Structures are given as C-alpha cells and as structure tokens.
Structure 1
C-alpha cells in the first residue's frame, strides 16, 4: 500500500480534475494529524517531533529556550490542521485523543507560568526578537477566525492567567515588516476580548504594514516573495473580518483593495495542475500561498477569481506533495520541497515548521454554501491559452509570470533581487522543474555563473580597478569558484521583450564592469534569450538549463549536434525533456552530473553553454540562446528546435544604442531587442 495520502471515493462530478471536495479536505487533515500524532502517546504528552540534524534548530548546543520554541512551534503549527477540524466538529479525535481537549490543555500549559511546558517571558531572555512572536501570530490568526475552537473552553480565571503571557509577547519587540502582522494578530485578539492593550502600538504596527504596499497587491518583504501573499494578504484578510472592519475601517479597506488586486494574478503563479513553484525562502512552507484561494471568498466583494478554478488549484497544490511517500520524514512533512534536503532550508526552521504549509485548511471555516465548495472544478483561463504562452507583468514587484499552454507549466521570472541567493536570483523558476543548488564548478541550473580569469584575481592581489595602484583583500581560492549574480534588476517590458540586468559583481569591485543585460522573448514551451555581455575583464561564463533528476538510477539521456550555424544539446528523463540551442556568443555546449543539488533526487544532470574570454579587454557580445522544455516523452521536432527564421545582430541600433538584434520567428512574429538607456531604466 502506498505510504501517502490517496483520495478515496473521489467526486469527479463536482471536482473532475482532483476528485476533492470538502469531505476530502477533512479526511486529508485527519490523515496528516494521524501521522503527526504517532509522536503523541497520551493526552498529557506534549507534541514534539524528532530533531533534524544540520542547520535547522534546535541543535545540541542550543539554549533551553530554543527547545521551548520548537515545542511551541509544533503545538501551534499542527493547530493549523486541528483548529479547522475542531471548528467543524468539536468531538474530533485523532488516535483516540480528542483534539479540542488536547489543544486546550497544552496551549493553557504553554501560557501558564510555572508549568513545565510554559513559555519563557520576554524579560527572561536577552532583549531581542524570538520565534515565539511568530507562533503567537499564527495561533491568534486562527483564533480570530475560529475562536470557538478552544478559547470558549477556558474559564475567566484561566483566560486571565494566560493573558499575562499573551500580552507580554504581543507587546514585545518585533522585527522587519511581516513580523508586525504577528503582533497585530495577538494585540487585536486581546482587545477584541476585552483586555487592555497599547492602542498606539497596534496602530503603529498597522501603519508600518500599510506603508510597505507596493502595488499589484504586493508588499515589500526582504525582497518580493511568497510572504506578500501568505502573511500580508491571508493573515490580514482574516484580521479584517474579525477585527479590522470594526476598529480600523480605513486600514481594512486598504487591505481589502490590495487583496482584490492580488487575486487578478494569483492563479498564474500555479501550474495547470495546481503545482506550486519552488521559489523564495521558507521553501518548506510549500503550499501556504494556496491559503489565498479560500481567503478570496472571505473578501467583502466577489473576487475576480473563478471559484472552481480556485479550488482546483488549491487541491492540486496539496496533492502535489501529500500524495508522495518521499514527502514524509518521521511521518511528518520533510524539511525540503519534495524530499528532505538541507540546502534549501533556513536556520530559523525546525522539524515542526513545514506544518505552516497547511494554511489552506482555513477553507474549512467557509460555509458549505461558499462558492469555494459548490463551484465545479475547472481550469480557468488555461483552456483559452491552447498551445500558446500567457505572460503577466507585475511591474510593482518586478515579476513576470509565464504560463506555457503547451506544457502546462508556469514560471516566475524575478526582476528585483538584492543579493546572491538561489531562492530568488535564478533567471526563472518553473513549477515542474524545481531549482537546483549552485554548483561552484559552473553549470549551475538556470543561472549565469561567472568566474574571473583576471590575473589580479587569480593571484589573489586584486588591484583596485581605478588608478590608485592600491590593493584590496582578495581570496584567490574563492575566485577559482564560479559565482552567481549578486543582484537582479528589473528594466521593464518593451514591445513584448522583457529587460533585466544581472549584476555579477557589486562595488567596490566596479560593478559597472560586471553587467549582463538580459532580454527575453517568450515562446511556447520556452524562451529566446538575447543577452548582452558587458564583462570588462578576463572571465569564464556558463548558462545552465533546468536540472533533470535521476530516478531509480536512470541517468538523463544526452544528445548533441550542430546544424545551420547553431549548436544543440538535449537531455531527457521519463516525462521531461529540455533543449538548449546557441546561436552566437558561446564556445560550446556541455552536460554535467550533480550530486545532492536537485530538489527531487540525489543525482541530476544539467546541460549548459560555456564560454571563456581571455582578452584583457573583452568585447561586448550578444549571447543568443534558446531554452525549451517539454512534459512528455516525444522526440523533438525540427521546427521546435528552430523557431528563429532570421537573426540580425546590429552593432548600432537605429535608436543609437550599442549591440542589439532584429529577430523574426517562423511564426512571422518580429522582435527588436534594443538595450537603449537600459541603465537608466533600472528599478530594484
């Protein structure tokens, strides 16, 4: 028997694509908790999961409060599943334990000073911000939406005891912007139920949050990422309905408006089958962004989002993971994406953290007659795309969403990235080809990888690139490794061509001499890259395609040939194929096997283009490349590998800019790639 979730008695009348209806969401929530509660022996046993070695917390040398934090995280984040089940049926039991009684008891213990499992008070710890604040926010978000789950079970005396701890953490120091939402939820809950709070502090947090709204329904986080959806939209919409509408109607209206804006593009972040894209940090939270689908039907006004499409995508994203046996580690969701993987997790995560991925189960708070439950599943706008590709440009966060009707995959093309982090800095992210970790030897998937051959770098005595003759510290060993872009800039879309810039080195190392100007033309099942290299000194460069995982020991099949002045390399595994074609600006095409860099398997293959320029003053070059993907086992057709009918590279464009191109496709479409004033069009 498959050791994973399977949809039993699917309803293909109401849900022709996934078979999932409300009863299946209930069954899935119970299934996931039944696995989790294998770690709970009795009503008195505090839920806790085995510690995972590596960078995540806590580790053997961690202080006691880190262990307390992990235990509280397990309690709060499993309540993401338990709370909705209790809301539907207060008598729900898991493995013989009544959920309502269990969570009432252990949350009371956590908030009551003196108990063995009680949380520390902020004043008992060095003045800083702590994970406890995050979990308070998650808990009180759920209780704002479903207070009947456990809050009504306490006596007034018990509530008064607990409020001491709740209030101290609600009023405590927070960090950055999205964390303010956690304090907002806890403070608002206290005020809603008659407890005194610092109203000025609550208002201050709210004004800070609204200040980060950037447009298109997006908010600035460390950079633009899924937190903008899951926290700034999901948490705050729940806050609106439970508290904000009454106490802060102006702020509530602003949040409502931004949520409506977000819903216009939300479905395009998902593949046709509902697959979520492995993008941005906190990857182990996976489907938490799918929580925006049920939230759409908590808005005051009807959202511009088809309910049947919303449920189809929400269900599909959950099935993407819960139906895979390898997804589970110690009977709970693994710290990774599909499987347990160290490279893609952060040090603020612990074994319990992935339970936040079940945020979509707030859908169980929707009434039975909500459109989310009653509408028939459909594929929304995908049917209209056909074999073409749809493109959505979100200027404010600098994101472009590409949906390939030919393959059913969706892509996120990021444009405002401030640091070299593979969570954000890839050239693009595809729902069905999860990204691979950086390879310091070159050939990194979906990245330009750069290695300096400047003798000043090679010898480790890096002469400042101005005229002083002074030196700066330089690590020659580090310079022997390939590096990825240090930041990505968004330069806009003109005449259906997307322009960005990859900055391969930042000042003080003369960032102006390390620019790759990016121009991208979307075609069915892929992209034509017409990128201008402005790399001022001796260097090597690679451009990698998607990584292909090796399943059951089966390596990718590689094919390589040259035809009509272009170089072609293809790679295939069962159900997936990629092709890379170079027209100009590259020396050769290669493939490389990777170990422990792929999200799905221990081994993988990447095909990539490579070049080496050893002139002291390398010329600018136009690197014209075609990257294609398929989701089947069919052979590549000649016309697929040759979409370009005419390619004209021009030294000086009619606009006066240097080194551009005119491109005519076999379809008859014409494109002009013109980098005129690209440096002045940066937004970051």
Structure 2
C-alpha cells in the first residue's frame, strides 16, 4: 500500500470551533483531543513511504541520543531494534485509542489498525523481519552479556505495548489468531519475568505479567508479588513515590499511571491489600497534584525526561480507572487541556513534524542518552484519557480552575517528597522548591534538572550561561584554585511559619564525609510575584566569590535592562542601632520566542555587593538567546565580622510589560538582625514587608535547629 507523499503544511495545532460553554478556560473538548492525537501521529505516518516501513521518524540529533553510533556491534544492533520498538509502542499510546474510536482511521493514507496489527507481529514474532525486536534471552546472547541482572529498553516498551493492546483490544488483540496471540505471549513472558531496574521499571514487569494473567496465560505470582511489594515500599506519602533516589514526574507518569492499571488488570482481584494502597496513593495525589500546574494549566520543566512534557497530566486519567476515584473531572480536564495547548500551539514544538527533543524547541542540554528520536511519544500517555467514553464526567464536567481565581498565594508543602509549590494568581505562575537531592558534583545535567533553588512554570530552567553563573543556583569560585563549585546536594528542613528551610552543599563529595564543607542554609518564602530569599552562608575558607542567578530570560533581541536603587534600613535587635544599605534591582522587559510579553526583576539587599547580567546562546529551552541577572558576593576574610552572612534577594516575574510598583520591586521596609554588627552572624532575622506584596508582612527567619531537621 502506497500513499501520496504530499504533506499538510499546517505546523501549529489550532482548536477548531472551541466550546467555551463546556470548557471556559481552553475551549478544548474530546473532539479536539482526537484532533491533537491525529496531529501528533502525522510525524510518523506522513513520513512513511508505505505501510511496510518501520515506525522510525527522522532523526535530528545523533550526539546524545541512541542508537549510539560508537557502541560495539552487539549493543548497536540491540539499540537499533529498541528504537524501532519505541517508535511502535509509544506512538501506539495514541494510535490505540484512535483506533478504538474509529477502526478505519487513516493518517497519510495508511490504515492505523492494519499498520499496528502487522508491525506488532513483525517486531515480536517474525524472526526474519528487520524489525524483529528479539526476546530477552536472544538479546542477552546478542550482547554477549553474562550478567543475570542485565536489562534492556525493550522491557519499558513491552509495557507500552500491552497498554495499547488493552486500549484497542477488540480492534487488534481479539482479531489475532490464537497462534498469533500465543506467540506474542511467549515473547512477553521473557521480559515480564526477567531482570529489571529496582525502581519504576518494576511496574513494566508487573503490567506485562498482569496482561498475560488477564488473557489466561500462566505467570509466576511470586515474582509479581515481589515487584508489587517493592513498589509499595517506595511510597513516601502525599501520593508520591521515590524513584531510585530522586523525586520527579516518574512518580506521576509511571507509579500513578501503571499502578491504577495494574489494579484493574490484576491487583483488585489477586492482591487487594496492595491494590488498596495504590488506590489510596492515587487519591492522595489528587488532593494536591492539581496545584502542581499553573493558572494556565502549564507543566513545569523539572526532573529528568522532560521531553515527555504533558505526559505529566496522565495520572488524572488513571485515577478514573479506580473503584473510588477522587479526582475532580472538571479540574482534571482543564489542566490536561491547558498543558496540551502549552506545547502544541507553539511554532517550534515540531521538528520534521515530530515533537522536538527538548521542552519546547530542540534543546540538547535537556536530553538524556537513554532517549531516541521516538522517545518523545511518551507524551502519548496523556491521550489514554480517550479510552474514557464520551459520557464520562472527565468529558462532560465543566472546566474549573480551582483556587486560581482567588486572591493570595497558595502554598502546598509536602515533607515526604520534599516539594513545596506556590500558586501565584497575580501572574498565574506556579513555583516549585525542592529538596532531598543528591547528585554527583560533576553532573551538571542532574543539577539543572533537580538542584535549582526554584523551578518556574513560565521560565523553564536554563543550562549554564557561564562558568561562574547558573540560573536559580549559587556558584562558588575558590579564589585560590579558581575552581567553580555548584550545589549538588540539597537537604530538606521543612516549612515553619511560612518559611521553607533547606541546606545546599557546594560540591558535596559522595565518596567521603564532607558535611562541614562550604554550604548555604536556604530560607525563602513566596511574595505575590515570586520568591524572597534570606540565605545564610556557611563557609570554611576565605577568598570566595559567590554568584546567584535569576531565571533565564528569553531574548528575542528586544530585551531592555533597567537598573534601579533604593535605600533600605537594617536594625540590630540587641542594640537598637540602625544603618542604611542600598538595595539594587535590575528589571528585564522583552518577549519570548512566541512574541509574548515577559518581565523579570531581581532585587538584592544584604550580602550582594552588586547585580549584573550575562548574555548567553543555546542555553535556554525557550529561546536561542537569553539574559540572566545575577547577584555577586565576595568573602575576603573568613573572620571579618563586618562581612555579611545573610544574602537577601528577591526574584519576581510578570507576563506583561506593566511596571512593577515600587513596593513590589523593593518590598522590604526593615531587616532586623540579632547580632550587634547587623551581619546575620547568629540568631533570627526579621523581615518586614510593605503592605500588599505578600500574604503577610512579618517574617521571622530562624536557622537554629535546622541541623536536627534535615532530611534526605
């Protein structure tokens, strides 16, 4: 079967005939989700010459992603097979629900049901096919591995496959002959029971086994129970699971999607206790997860695998699989559709008709080596909501925006996963502050993903714009060695009286005890447009320069940098003496790559001797060029009592060019230190704010006993 090679020149998704009566915030309905699924699969099917072509999309990056061209022959062969399998199974997330909706659907002249039916058989059962994936046992032989714990990317994709087969069971699985189903089951059995990775990967094995059991095939129930109890043991509360060491979206788009599916396939009937715990976790997540998204439904760029983007909304759909779902359907659809539009309506989202390897545009600093060009289709998990029938409340409830239309900043702080996120109605932004982070000091990529002081839904994290400057991170330069140290480990101290406490270490070495090395005690709280910081340094040597960057600011060439100053007052709680300092601010006004107005301001008080900007190229996920404001601190003499210990700063943003007021830009009326030198050397720090810039005017910051509250 051949097709017309002409391609639709539409590159940006549009919501045709929006329904604002049902969806007052997005206009998006179930029909538009179907349209969006077709839009995304065009990149595969309109690039194929015929129905016989393998499900591989054009490759735009070859240095980081696999197949790794420098790998040995056996590994390279396995990676090429894995890429084909990813292309097949991850696009099947979307293809399966479209096929169930319309069994005769075609894209690019290719019938989707016929395509997936045939290529699944080629990949799993036809050893003479170039698309044959190989069984687990065959891959062990191909790679020459003798390690019984060795595992392969194919294990991940078998899970996507069985979800797709379930979503369009009548259209594909039930149409296979018994012999074909048996052959597929034989293929799955090896991956289901073989080695896996001891974190979210256990769920892949669990769903493989659950699918086989559901279809009447024998499984090892002891292996199933071992995986399930381990997954349950990763639970930390508030709906979140620890994945390896880290907390990120894998807790949501893996644990809180696969566990509910496992419940209905296997758990409710065979492991009711564990299934009940998974249901409890999903419903607990639904209590606070909506606040993780911003006032426009935007998804935060945070953690690894951010090329999966709006897959972060998939736990909402999965919650509705449960016996007693707790999600608000109108809120769930509003967030899901808002996140969908966040990406699909941009003109840089597609590269060769395929979602780019980045967050918005192509952005290599974001990409991990375990990804290939087809990996982006993990976003297809979001489309599993289409398995919910048209009369389900997810589709019929009116969109609502929760508390976003109310005044004041709303803060959600969860000690288990060490997450604090604040919703700012003034600019519709959500800001995330995280803890319990452990990364190697040389792992820049890991620190960008996890170690930022805060993550912003409207300002995705920026890679290193300079050796001595990072966005939303401290960088320490040792004046003796000129070494640049970044904060790679973050301890969580929790929230007290509205202030969040954490500790970060500069170049914390994981191979030796070094907890007395250079560190900073973090203390911060939200204001209407951003975050105010009062961080206390803990240094062990002199001649140290420290910088703190604001969020990366996209620069379309029109960015203006405006400098302002204002005097501020400091008082000693002991002597009552006062002194004046000069607070400094830089305001950036410009536009993002889509032409939207942006504004960012950073203000510094004590500790920083100056503010400056650095311009960069290729380090911002939104724009090719960017600007970063940063504060500068210098400690010449470790024992000079006149030098500041506390670094007070504020970063605020606005999605317009309307000027910040004087009080918003310089919100502090008074800083009260406990020591007579007014440096913050010891005791609490009191900050009094102007009226109307925060939920409350008085903040008392006390670092004492933080040592006993730190958690990893």
Give me the CA root mean square deviation: 1.8
CA distance in 1, matches of 2:676, 2:253: 46
**8 Å CA contact 1:448, 1:485 repeated in 2:** yes
Q: Is the 8 A contact 2:451 2:490 kept in 1?
A: yes
1:679 aligned onto 2:707: yes
Q: Per-residue deviation at 1:169?
A: 1.4
Which deviates the most, 600-609 or 574-583? 574-583
The residue that corresponds to 1:319 in the other structure is 341
Matches within 5 A, 1:2-401: 3-51=11-59, 52-62=61-71, 63-116=76-129, 117-124=131-138, 125=140, 126=145, 127=147, 128-222=150-244, 223-303=246-326, 305-384=327-406, 386=407, 388-401=408-421
Deviation at 1:407, TM superposition (A): 0.3
Q: Deviations over 1:5-42 (max 9, x none)?
A: 11111111111221111111111111211232122222
Match of 2:654 in 1: 630
CA distance in 2, matches of 1:122, 1:230: 25
Q: Hey, what's the Cα distance between the residues in 2 that align with 1:674 and 1:258?
A: 34
Instruction: Find out whether 1:518 has 2:532 as its counterpart.
Output: no
**Aligned residue in 2 for 1:642:** 666
Q: Which residue of 1 aligns with 2:435?
A: 415
Q: 1:567 aligns with which of 574, 584, 594?
A: 584
Instruction: Give TM-score, length-normalised by structure 1.
Output: 0.93
Is the 1:644–1:663 Cα contact (8 Å) retained in structure 2?
yes
Cα distance in 2 for partners of 1:629, 1:641 equals 10
Q: Give the match's secondary structure for 1:486.
A: strand
2:521 corresponds to 1:531: no
Tell me the secondary structure at the aligned position of residue 607 of structure 1. strand
Cα drift, residue 290 of structure 1: 0.7
Q: Could you say if the C-alpha distance between residues 652 and 137 of structure 1 is closer, same or farther in structure 2, counting changes exceeding 3 Å?
A: farther
Residue among 545, 550, 553 paired with 1:545? 550
Report the alpha carbon displacement of residue 243 of structure 1 after superposing the two structures with TM.
2.2
The residue aligned with 1:473 is: none
Unaligned runs of 5+ in 1: 459-479
Q: How far, CA to CA, are the matches of 1:298 and 1:643 in structure 2?
A: 47
Contact 2:673 2:686 in 1 (8 A): yes
SS at match of 1:352: helix
Q: Is the 8 A contact 1:536 1:617 kept in 2?
A: no
- Pick which of 510-519 and 229-238 moved more: 510-519
- Structure 2: distance between partners of 1:657 and 1:549: 37
Distance 2:50 2:158 in 1: 25
TM-score (norm 2): 0.89
**Does 1:434 pair with 2:460?**
yes
Q: Is 1:657–1:675's contact at 8 Å kept on the other side of the alignment?
A: no
Q: Which residue number in structure 2 is paired with residue 666 of structure 1?
A: 690
Number of residue pairs matched by the alignment:
653
Paired with 2:294 and 2:208, the residues of 1 have a C-alpha distance of 35
Higher deviation after alignment, 224-233 or 135-144: 135-144
Summarize deviations over 1:375-410 as a string: whole Å, max 9, x none: 1112121112x2x21100111101001110110011
The answer (yes or no) to whether the contact 2:43–2:57 under 8 Å persists in 1 is no
- Structure 2 portions without partners, runs of 5+: 1-8, 442-446, 568-581, 592-596
Secondary structure at the residue paired with 1:17? coil
Alignment CA distance shift 1:481-1:437 (3 Å): farther
SS in 2 for 1:298: coil
Q: Distance in 2 between matches of 1:500 and 1:149?
A: 53
Tell me the equivalent position of 1:403: 423
Deviations 1:32-56 (CA, angstroms, capped at 9, x unpaired): 1123212222221111112321211
The residue aligned with 1:462 is none
Could you tell me whether the CA contact under 8 Å between 1:236 and 1:255 is conserved in 2? yes
Shift of 1:487: 0.6
Q: C-alpha deviations, 1:134-172, integer Å up to 9, x for none?
A: 101122233345433421121001112222211111111
CA distance, structure 1, for counterparts of residue 473 and residue 391 of structure 2: 47
Please give the per-residue CA displacement for 1:289-331, whole angstroms capped at 9, x wherever unaligned: 111122232222241x432221111001011111112111121
CA drift of 1:422 comes to 1.0
Which is worse superposed, 32-41 or 484-493? 32-41
Could you tell me whether the CA contact under 8 Å between 1:569 and 1:581 is conserved in 2? Answer: yes
In the alignment, is the contact (CA less than 8 A) between 1:532 and 1:659 conserved in 2?
no
